Amino acid sequence: MDLFIQQLINGLSLGALYALIAVGYTVVYGIVQLINFAHGEVFMMGAFGAYTTWMLMGSPTKVSVGFALGIMLPAMILGGVLVSVVTALLMERFAYRPLRNAPRLAPLISAIGLSIALQEAVRLFYGRIPGFPDSRRAIPFPVIEGLTGRSLQLGGVTIQFSAIFTLGALFVCATVLWWFVNKTRMGRAMQATSQDADTARLMGINVDRAIATAFAVGAALAAVAGVAHGLRYNNIDFQMGFMAGMKAFTAAVLGGIGNINGAVVGGLVLGVVEAMATTYIPGQFGSSAWKDVWAFAILILVLVFRPQGLLGAKVVDRA
């Protein structure tokens, strides 16, 4: 029983990471019907932004728990969010907005090109900074005193503090996003734009601003996921966005792309399935090398048997 609970917690924390990224996919798709395949790189930029913020703070290593949790970690999250949001806004303005009325294949190709360009830009940019670790390899993520390597022991179950941070971040971000989308003027403008952009424009809504806000909101959550990824795996690299982005896209489709609640549910389900598969599927098919296979097998099954996703019917929740 302890093993089951352990894997359930591991799966939920992994799923929370996917969900934070998946919300960005689903918010953007819900408002402009665009699969932003460069969103994984926005997540990567957030992780590098957090790391760069830590370097600008003087790369502090031996600090008190209060300084690490009260100043260093919030500053790193803020730095990551700033980098991701600026990246997403530039993407929307110069790569997607000119193609808004083009055939759907055009922005899709643009997104794939952006994904590769951002990876190479990070590799080349950070590779030229004196003192920065080799950006072609995994870079050790800063140690956060009181969080990194710490765990909570409950009977036979071990809960890493990084897992608690990820689950807590998902809860806070999902709550704030729900309030923003449903209770603010801009949130209602985003909902109106997602339903009918032309009518929303005639009603006086600044559609361009609403779409840009959707990109910014998704990027902010992806940046938080980037920090959570660094705390969970203790390293980052310039290619980390590709697979994480694909998993998050799978989670968004699983939950019903365009549905914010569905993205959260899809991410958690996907994380739990991966964790359980590596434990309870016997033989080599249950090894960690096969976890990606199971994730994409779920994507295929969903597309075949329920293409609208688990919560796809709740289109009224689209942002």
Please write the tens of the pLDDT for every residue from 154-193. 888 899 999 999 999 999 999 999 999 999 999 999 999 9
**138 pLDDT band (50/70/90 cuts)?**
confident
Checking if the pLDDT of 319 tops 50, the result is no
Between 122-126, 140-144, 218-222, the lowest mean confidence (pLDDT) is in 122-126
* Residue 146 confidence (pLDDT): 86
Alpha carbons 283 and 53: distance in angstroms, whole number? 44
Q: What pLDDT, on the 0 to 100 scale, is given for residue 162?
A: 93
Q: Give the amino acid at 121.
A: A
pLDDT digits (tens, 9 = 90+) for 89-126: 999 999 999 988 888 888 889 999 999 999 999 988 88
Q: What is the mean pLDDT of residues 228-240?
A: 92
Q: Which residues, 6 or more positions from 270, have their beta carbon under 8 angstroms from its beta carbon?
A: 15, 18, 247, 250, 251, 254, 295, 298
Tokens encoding 96:
């997607």
**What is the per-residue pLDDT for 312?**
67
Checking if the pLDDT of 142 tops 80, the result is yes
Under a CB-based contact definition with an 8 Å cutoff, are residues 86 and 94 in contact?
no
Q: What percent of the chain has pLDDT over 90?
A: 53
pLDDT tens-place string over residues 249-281: 989 988 888 888 889 999 999 999 888 888 888
96: Cα separation from own chain's centroid: 20
Q: Could you tell me if 161 and 150 are in contact, meaning their C-beta atoms sit under 8 angstroms apart?
A: yes
Q: What is the reported pTM? A: 0.91
Note the pLDDT of residue 313.
Answer: 59
